[in-house]
A and B are shown apart, each in its own frame.
Chain A
């Protein structure tokens, strides 16, 4: 025993020395890293930033297909912006814009002109410009993001109305646009006019299943970014085919029971005054039905909530008759809006972005196997019937405006 130990000792010492003396292979000084927090992809138009070094022998062989915006966080200026000491305000972020045809090559290009290494593991958002998304297959465009082990699948994906580059700018001092987008996407529970966040992982699985889906669309005006409706990506072509407006998205969210909060506003009969319903709970069930070759769907949408605003006078909510009337008005409003949204996805875009196919797959796997190849077409022919139930659970702390 002892003899063996004495033989092992030098070996162990050597091993420990090796560990101590070689240092850390993967060490990168945090201060010297450039953190990529957001990236934007646009179709390259006339301008070709990054190509101005051609005369000196710069550049590499590429097509100018994509205008690539890389947003770097500059942590040192986040703190500084809080002090508001006047003078030149340094933005806490920097956007590098380049053109090319490979997202990987463009992302590594800044290594030639900027100090420090790029660190991509903190990428939070990816914004794709409308024009690019309409013309390029997203599965090809995003392939590098899906492959790279350092890109997390929790990166949020957006479609920009207009240019992605513009949505990665802000006038707000001390703010990083990418982080702002992440924060807004978090408001999902507060409104039904937002889409539940779609990250790279979910986008990847939709693309892999060849099914149509929605992406949150965002727009920028005068340095302010807002979430506006949704972009429809067609499963077959994997390209953007159009948008849903905020109201259309809301109608669709009602149909599919997604999101929470939000309100329904209806103008009702006698006085043409608006009343507003605060949605507490929203539930929806899609029941597929197969009869012979015909596929149809029954949808039940249930709302539970509160009458929060009523401009009618006296509008006595203590009276059940009045409540019934308001309920009916909300009911009609929901039907009108859902009809419009459904018509848009079913007939105009012919894209099942509401998960009808998914329910068919679950209930009728054999039927699904037969129709899944051309599902969007099949979907456009399907009959969809739905019922809306609106429950006014209460009317808050005041039931009427006048004593009758």
Chain B
């Protein structure tokens, strides 16, 4: 299906894409969900462990995809488990990506409304982002990858600088004791693993890679970025706010940045900067999910992708507008977490096992 040589991406682009897709809405809420589950300050350890688990999952995803060079999950799943089941699994993935796109858009809308544009209806900011998303996604995978490459460095820079500024309210005691209790860590890993939702992108991205044999390396490098982001977030937020407070705040990371003012340089307040780069990362996640959903439909129905892109637009908007309030939104996030466990953690190993047993494999085209 993907024979156009223009639609190929380099290994570093794949790594950047994985990093950009993984870093999304979670950055602002992860400290709360981890603190809620664990009740200890060891969230940052759970984040590292969760990242390692994700790396394992990612390796399986890639191994599966590498057996079918040039084919996305939507195509090769039918070869492994037959037409009907393959269709069904692919549809699950399409639905998942659609929900994810809607979830990211709505989270962006909520936060923008609360912190940045208080008088602007959230529908307006959401629709704006949706439209920009259409424009990008219609261009196909290459413009997307190039954009991600441009957006990642400023994100890393600004994000880390802003978080480091919070050192002035950082209290090491809030992070101690380290491993005072070990059992909460298991609960914590379950929660933090969900923050790495997005690795399932490799089910599709591998097919676009110019050198698919480097996919494992690319995805591991890609996951290293979110691990660094999340560890940094957990350490600074728990250190600055304490576990007890992180549990209570809706968007702990923003609350952290709101807890201090920097005097002496031009800007006193930095939540706007944090939110700006955060919205960039939301956009990358949203655009990717949007594209993958549209691509899935186009490959399933063997039609041009453009009509599907436009058809999905109102659908994503509907998904985004479905949660009645922030609690519903977080519930949608939980639901996405469950589907993620299925599409990334359960389905690929089974498919890989079946593929190996049935000897299904596509050699490189002669």
Chain A residues at the B interface, C-beta cutoff of 8 Å: 15, 25-26, 149-150, 152-154, 199-202, 204-205, 208-209, 355, 358-359, 361-363, 365-366
Extra pairs beyond A205-B242, A208-B242 (9, CB < 8 Å):
A26-B117, A152-B259, A199-B260, A202-B259, A205-B244, A208-B247, A209-B242, A365-B40, A365-B181
Residues of A with C-beta under 8 A to B157 = none
Contact A152–B261 (Cβ < 8 Å): yes
Residues of A with C-beta under 8 A to B258 = 152-154, 201
Contact B131–A205 (Cβ < 8 Å): no
Contact B176–A362 (Cβ < 8 Å): yes
Interface residues of B in 261-275 (CB under 8 A from A): 261, 269
Given the known inter-chain contacts A152-B258, A204-B245, A205-B245, please indicate yes or no for A363 contacting B177, CB distance below 8 A: yes
Docked Cα-Cα span, A199 to B169, in Å, equals 10
Closest B residue to A22 by CB, please name it: B124
Contact B177–A365 (Cβ < 8 Å): yes
Residues of A with C-beta under 8 A to B181 = 365-366
Docked Cα-Cα span, A381 to B66, in Å, equals 67
Question: Is the interface on chain B under 10, 10 to 19, 20 to 34, or 35 or more residues?
Answer: 20 to 34
Contact B173–A26 (Cβ < 8 Å): no
Docked Cα-Cα span, A190 to B119, in Å, equals 43
Closest B residue to A208 by CB, please name it: B244
Contact B177–A149 (Cβ < 8 Å): no
Q: Name the residue in B119, B177, B242, B258 with the highest tally of chain A Cβ atoms < 10 Å from its Cβ.
A: B258
* Closest chain B CB from A1 CB (angstroms): 11
Residues of B with C-beta under 8 A to A152 = 258-259, 261, 269
Given the known inter-chain contacts A205-B244, A208-B244, A209-B242, please indicate yes or no for A26 contacting B177, CB distance below 8 A: no
Contact B114–A154 (Cβ < 8 Å): no
Docked Cα-Cα span, A150 to B117, in Å, equals 11
Docked Cα-Cα span, A149 to B250, in Å, equals 10
Contact B115–A362 (Cβ < 8 Å): no
Residues of A with C-beta under 8 A to B255 = 153, 201
* Closest chain B CB from A353 CB (angstroms): 15
Closest A residue to B179 by CB, please name it: A365
Interface residues of B in 239-261 (CB under 8 A from A): 240-242, 244-245, 247-248, 255, 258-261
Contact A25–B124 (Cβ < 8 Å): yes
- Partner of B169 from A201, A208, A359 at Cβ < 8 Å: A201
Residues of A with C-beta under 8 A to B40 = 365
Docked Cα-Cα span, A355 to B172, in Å, equals 13
Does any Cβ of A come within 8 Å of B118's Cβ? yes
Does any Cβ of A come within 8 Å of B364's Cβ? no
* Closest chain A CB from B259 CB (angstroms): 4
Contact A205–B118 (Cβ < 8 Å): no
- Partner of A201 from B115, B173, B245, B269 at Cβ < 8 Å: B245
Given the known inter-chain contacts A25-B119, A152-B258, A199-B259, please indicate yes or no for A205 contacting B241, CB distance below 8 A: yes
